[in-house]
Amino acid sequence: MSMLEVKLWVDPASGLVDEKVRISVEGLSPHEPVTVKAAVEESRMRFCAYGWFTSTGRGQVDLTSQASIHGTYTGVDPMGLFWSMRPEPLQKEHLRLLKKDVTTPLVVTVVVLKGHLDWGKLFDPSPKPLAELKVYRWYKDKSVRRERVRQGNVQGALFTPSGPGPFPGIIDLFSGGTFEHRAALLASHGYCVLALELYNYDDNVTSFFHINSNILNESMAWFGQLPTVLPAGFGIIATSLSGFFAAEITRLSPMVKALVLVNGLTFYKHPSAIPEDCKTDRQASTYSIENAKPTPHGFDAREVHKVLDSSFVKVWEGAASVLYIRGQDDRSLNINISQRFFQQVPEEHKHRFQLVSYPGAGHLIEPPYSPVSTSSHNKTMDMVLHWGGEPKSHHLAQEDSWRRILEFFSEKLTGGTLNKNKSSKL
């Protein structure tokens, strides 16, 4: 059968990364075994996924209704070729698929190959495909404007939706470097989002442990007065170590109306971080890097922090509602810490706090359909960390938590009026 007779369809062929796609194949022989493979190259890193299928009696394969019987994922899952991606052979160990330039798409090449091929036979050389198609996956909708921000201590990237505004605002915080992918995607759903750089500036802080509170105060003041941001208050989303700064901002500022923590720290890590108004009843946690345990996937850092009840930030002193996303297979932060934090919340404030805990999910819970990164190099600790996460369970956590995050911000910042089902055909 010639390649021209086999047709591969992907719908949409261009869209946001959190949109599901339909992949189907026509023109095969009845009951023909084929391998469907998806590959992407980003920042010189190559990732790949594949599944085995058998065509119907009419020579068709539809990934939305037919099961992969073998591959990087199994079962019926239209997005299996995206979330199950893993580094190709000869790639470095401990890679994390991360989009640095959100103004360009992830370009995923989907191919149909004759027969059921094992992982090792997909490369060097790659078999000639029966059909091939490129899929463009965007974090930033084409209508969203990205601006580089350098205003005193405020540095990062501002993402603004199209239209006159003002829009509900969100500040996005990460630790360990500069990340814009989540901010761009949130802006694509109708928010004005500041991806704030906390350190690693050209002319500013170079260590996460020497962040000046002026950076946070100036950032809130600058962001809150933007004409494109609704004046009634904004939200914050933070992952990992940056969760502490988000928690402290939320405690102090009435402008913060909604806080999302994704496996975020909620305790004081260093005595210098404890503000004057808390020095009488707060105590910093202790940090012992020697308690990190080596594993084949990097260092397990769950026991590096010793957290006392008096170490927790009193987030409830602020006015915000709080959504905490937790992975039960987190190998970087002991999940018992988040449980103890919620026990500290006074009864009269518990209605503003919700904890969503996902079995089998690791530390880096990203927007949906991102491949699970079980380990990568962490700049803050300067070591390879084991993040944890079983791929299928982690994928389900990412899909469900993203839905919850969008609904949470919509409810708390707009009263639920923001379009929750925004879709983009780019």
Distance between CA atoms of 373 and 398, rounded to whole angstroms?
Answer: 12
Phi and psi at residue 47, to the nearest 5°: -125, 155
3-state secondary structure 270-289: CHHHCCHHHCCCCCCCEECH
- How far is the CA of 400 from the CAs of 49, 311, 323, in angstroms? 22, 31, 13
Which residues contact residue 30 at a Cβ distance below 8 angstroms, ignoring those fewer than 6 apart? Answer: 55, 56, 57, 58, 59
Which residues contact residue 415 at a Cβ distance below 8 angstroms, ignoring those fewer than 6 apart? Answer: none
Residue 305 annotated in active site:
no
Q: Are 361 and 397 in contact (CB under 8 A)?
A: yes
In this structure, is the dihedral angle defined by the CA atoms of residues 152, 153, 156 and 161, taken in order, positive or negative? negative
Residue 77 annotated in active site:
no
Query: 68, 330, 338, 376: which is the annotated catalytic residue?
Result: 330
Query: 181, 189, 305, 363: which is the annotated catalytic residue?
Result: 363
DSSP 110: E
What is the four-CA torsion angle of 256, 358, 309, 345, rounded to 10 degrees?
50
**Closest listed residue to residue 224, CA positions, set 182, 260, 146, 171:** 171
Query: 24, 240, 401, 424: which is the annotated catalytic residue?
Result: 240
Q: Which two tokens stand for residue 298?
A: 């990097």
Q: Which two tokens stand for residue 325?
A: 């996303």
Residue ranges with strand state E in 127-240: 131-138, 145-151, 154-160, 169-173, 192-196, 234-239
SS3 248: helix
Which residue is listed with tokens 């992982």?
119
Residue 14 annotated in active site:
no
Q: Which two tokens stand for residue 5?
A: 């007779």
Residues involved in catalysis: 240, 330, 363
